[in-house]
Amino acid sequence: MFSSMNAQPGSGAPTIPFVRDAVQRAMIKVAWEIGGPVSFDPAFGGGALLLQEANLLILGTSAFRPLGEQLFGQIGDLYGMDTLLVRFDAYHCSFDILFHGEGEWLSDYRQSLLGGQVWFVPAHEDQAFTVRADSQGLFLNPPMLPNSFQRPSAAEIEPTRRDVA
C-alpha cells in the first residue's frame, strides 16, 4: 500500500490540488452513505478519504472533466484501490469511477439511493453500466433498464371490461 509519508511536495510523489470545503463535505457525505470505517489521509490535506474495507479511495476536485483524470488515476494506483472521484462545482455533483487495474474511467455519473443502496448511474443514456457501492466495495452492473424497455401503448393501459357495481 502507498505510504502517505511519501506524498510530500518535491518528493516525486503525486500531490493533489487544494480541495474546497464544499467538495470535502460532498466527499464525506458519499463516504457516509456508502458505509464502513472512513480514514483521512493527512498527506492530502483532506482531499482523500479511505474506505479500506471497501478497497475504495475517494478523491475530490472542483475541476471540470477531464482535468485531473491522469493524476487521480496515479494516486489510486499507488494506493492499489478503486477510485471514486467526486467532482463538485457550484451547480451539481458528479462522479467519475476508476476500477483498480483498469485504464478507462467511467465518467459523469450521478448518485442515487435505491432500495437503501447507493448506486452510481450514468448521466447520459449512451453509457451502459451502473455501479452499486456498499461497505464491501464497488460493483459493476448492467444498465438499470434493459434496452428493450418501452412505454406501454394506450391499448395495453386500457382497463379490462368488468362489471362495475
What pLDDT is attached to residue 16?
A: 57
Overall number of domains in the chain: 1
| Residue 80 within a domain | yes
Domain that holds residue 144: 4-157
Q: What is the pTM of this model?
A: 0.74
Q: How many residues does the chain have?
A: 165
Residue 162 lies in a domain: no
pLDDT score, position 126: 64
- Count CB-CB contacts under 10 A for residue 158: 9
List phi, psi (to 5°) of 147: -60, -25
Which residues of the chain fall short of a pLDDT of 70? 1-18, 42-46, 125-127, 144-165
Q: Examine residue 43 and state whether it is found in any structural domain, yes or no.
A: yes
Report pLDDT for 65: 76
Query: Is 165 part of any domain?
Result: no
